[in-house]
Amino acid sequence: MTTPPRAPAMARPSRSAPRPPSPVPALAHLLIWGGAAAVLALWWSDTTSVVGAAGWVTGAGRITGLLAGYACAMLLMLMARVPLLDRAVGTDRLARWHAMGGRYTVSLASAHVLLIIWGYSLESHTGVVDQTTTLVLHYPDLLKGTIGFLLFLITGIVSARAVRRRVTYETWHFLHFATYLAVFLAFGHQLSNGADFVGNRPAQLAWYALYLGVAALLAWYRFAVPVRRALRHRLYVAEVRPEAPGIVSVYLSGSGLEELRAEPGQFFRWRFLTRGMWWAANPYSLSAAPHPAYLRITVKASGGHSAALARLRPGTRVLAEGPYGGFTARRRRARKSLLLGGGVGITPLRTLFETLPGEVALIYRARRPEDLALRGEIDALAAARGAAVHYVVDEPVAYSSPLTPEALRGLVPDLAERDVYLCGPPAMTEVAVTALRGAGVPRRRIHHESFSF
């Protein structure tokens, strides 16, 4: 078993020049909206005339149904963890797109159900209850479709912000798996009842290609790649070291770690194969530059999983999914950077502080001096690369400094010329973004990593 060194070896800052913004996020938007336009074109090309109220209502039901079916595939694609998308857009931003898209999709699917029932009952002059029963029980694949819709609706409700706050992360996460079943159950009725698909072979083939393509991405990136990596790297816990009150570092070793091509600022989802932990895979960022012999994470006890890390035994096997995230040197636009971290948000910044090219300054905020984890190695890194570090603590008040444009400019006078990498608790991030904007940093040069999806 490899024993990690007393202090992590220092990586050299990379020499790469700042890059222009990646075109991938804009291309992804274009593709998603282009696909939606193609779906509308399918309805348009199939519709010769719309007659009367029933025709309009049913037509609206068909459009919302087509768009909901398309959006389901896009929602799954966003969560397929495709490396190109993940690095260029960022996992947290993809999760936000997914959450927003989820709200639209549930609304579209609900509108589709209501409009189709209403349109058909207008057409056949029957009541909505009779019409609903007929549709669900006598139309092909509609019973399965209805179950799929209900599952989807429940997931949507549980994901709504007010309810989400009351359920545990695990409940919310496992319920999300139900959406795979929901999409599977709802697929058949689209082709067997959808007026735009019945008798339209090219449209049917395109729909199969869309869904099978997304299923292949999910199977590859969420299942095959992690399994292949687990077998190849055979990660295990090498050591657990206390860093500060309630904060530990976990060193992980394995074979061929350099093949993971992890970048400073990225994170993995870690599954520790020990009692009470094997069923959860929680995200933690690398807190030292990836080393061929080990990886390191530094974790603050904030709940069951993070607290249990302090009790891990050396030799415990680990499955790591990743590396994920776009909070890396690739985001750099300027020659100088400021890293602004709060609490355990220091972890990805500590790694960037080690490796980011150009002139770098670090502001590290914590509640108390003893909460400043990794301080010794941050000082050593600062000395090695001649970088400025400012520690700011809330207590004692005499050492405190507010998060205002003036205070930030006081610490880093050329702030407006820098990229800013920001990671901390959500409330701090919000205040910091306002202060940075007030100090003249353009939004496109403020890069932040969120520790909650």
Ligand X SMILES: Cc1cc2nc3c(=O)[nH]c(=O)nc-3n(C[C@H](O)[C@H](O)[C@H](O)COP(=O)(O)OP(=O)(O)OC[C@H]3O[C@@H](n4cnc5c(N)ncnc54)[C@H](O)[C@@H]3O)c2cc1C
Per CB under 6 A, 96 contacts ligand X: no
Enumerate residues 307-326 that contact ligand X by CB under 6 A.
Answer: 325
- Show contacts with ligand X in window 134-173 (CB under 6 A): 169
Shortest reach from residue 225's CB to ligand X, in Å = 18
- Nearest residue by C-beta to ligand X? 303
CB of 291 to ligand X, least distance (A): 17
Question: Is residue 249 within the footprint of ligand X (CB under 6 A)?
Answer: no
Residue 429 in the binding site for ligand X (CB under 6 A): no
Query: What is the smallest separation between the CB atom of 169 and ligand X, expressed in angstroms?
Result: 4
Q: Does the footprint of ligand X cover residue 344 (CB under 6 A)?
A: yes
Q: How far apart are CA 96 and CA 339, in angstroms?
A: 23
Q: What does the alpha-carbon distance between residue 420 and residue 398 come to, in Å, rounded to a whole number?
A: 26
Q: How many positions of this chain bind ligand X (CB under 6 A)?
A: 22
- For residue 452, state whether it binds ligand X (rule: CB under 6 A): yes
Q: Are strands 419-423 and 336-342 parallel, antiparallel or unpaired?
A: parallel
Q: Does 282 bind ligand X (CB under 6 A)?
A: yes
d(CA 450, CA 330): 17
Distance in angstroms (rounded) separating the CA atoms of residues 143 and 397 = 64
Report the site for ligand X in 168-207 (rule: CB under 6 A).
169
Interface residue with ligand X among 305, 331, 365, 447 (CB under 6 A) is: 305
300 binds ligand X (CB under 6 A): yes
- Quick one: which H or E segment has residue 224? none
Helices and strands (H, E) in the chain, number of each type: 15, 11
**Applying CB under 6 A, which of residues 267, 270, 294, 353 lies at the interface with ligand X?**
267
Contacts 24+ apart (CB under 8 A), 176-180: 178/151, 178/154, 179/75, 179/76, 179/151, 179/152, 179/155, 180/76
284 binds ligand X (CB under 6 A): yes
Q: How far is the CB of 449 from ligand X (least distance, A)?
A: 6
Cβ atoms of residues 371 and 245 within 8 Å: yes
Joined together, the tokens standing for residue 296 give: 């390191």
Q: Considering the complex, what minimum distance in angstroms separates the CB of residue 153 from ligand X? A: 23
Helix (H, G, I), strand (E, B) or coil at 241: strand
Min dist CB 322 to ligand X, Å, is: 10
With binding defined as CB under 6 A, does residue 378 bind ligand X?
no
The answer for residues whose C-beta is within 8 angstroms of residue 86's C-beta and 6 or more apart is 94, 324, 325, 326
303 binding ligand X? (CB under 6 A): yes
337 burial (CB, 10 Å; 0-12 / 13-18 / 19+) is buried
Return the range that interacts with ligand X (CB under 6 A); candidates 14-22, 30-38, 191-199, 274-282. 274-282
Span of 5-13, 275-283, 331-339, 369-377 interacting with ligand X by CB under 6 A: 275-283
Should residue 283 be labelled a site residue for ligand X when binding is judged by CB under 6 A? yes
What is the spatial order of strands in the sheet that 236-244 belongs to? 236-244, 247-253, 295-300
**Structural contact between residues 290 and 9, judged by C-beta atoms closer than 8 angstroms:** no
Residue 425 near ligand X by CB under 6 A: no
Question: What are the Cα distances from residue 263, in Å, to 140, 283, 290?
Answer: 50, 15, 7
Is 49 a binding residue for ligand X by CB under 6 A? The answer is no
Per CB under 6 A, the list member of 146, 179, 328, 347 interacting with ligand X is: 347
CA neighbours closer than 13 Å in the CB half-sphere of residue 200? 19
DSSP helix/strand/coil, 341: strand
CA nearest to 270, candidates 255, 248, 285: 285
Tell me how far, at minimum, the Cβ of 266 lies from ligand X, in Å: 9
Task: Say whether residue 274 binds ligand X (CB under 6 A).
Answer: no
CA distances from 6 to 156, 190, 238, 245, 248 (A): 48, 60, 13, 19, 14
Segment contacting ligand X by CB under 6 A, of 36-44, 130-138, 238-246, 277-285: 277-285
We find the least distance from the C-beta atom of residue 319 to ligand X, in angstroms, to be 13
Residue with smaller CB distance to ligand X, 179 or 190? 179
Segment interacting with ligand X (CB under 6 A) among 67-75, 192-200, 283-291, 313-321: 283-291
Nearer of residues 60 and 329 to ligand X, judged by Cβ: 329
Q: What does the block give as tokens for 172?
A: 């919310």
Is 306 near ligand X (CB under 6 A)?
yes
Q: How far is the CB of 259 from ligand X (least distance, A)?
A: 22
User: Which range in 37-45, 77-85, 303-311, 424-432 contacts ligand X by CB under 6 A?
Assistant: 303-311
- 82, 182, 299, 352: which one binds ligand X (CB under 6 A): 299
Closest by CA position to 210, among listed 89, 338, 69, 333: 69
Burial class (CB in 10 A: 0-12, 13-18, 19+), 161: exposed
Which positions lie near ligand X, rule CB under 6 A?
169, 267, 280-285, 297, 299-300, 302-306, 325, 344, 347, 451-453
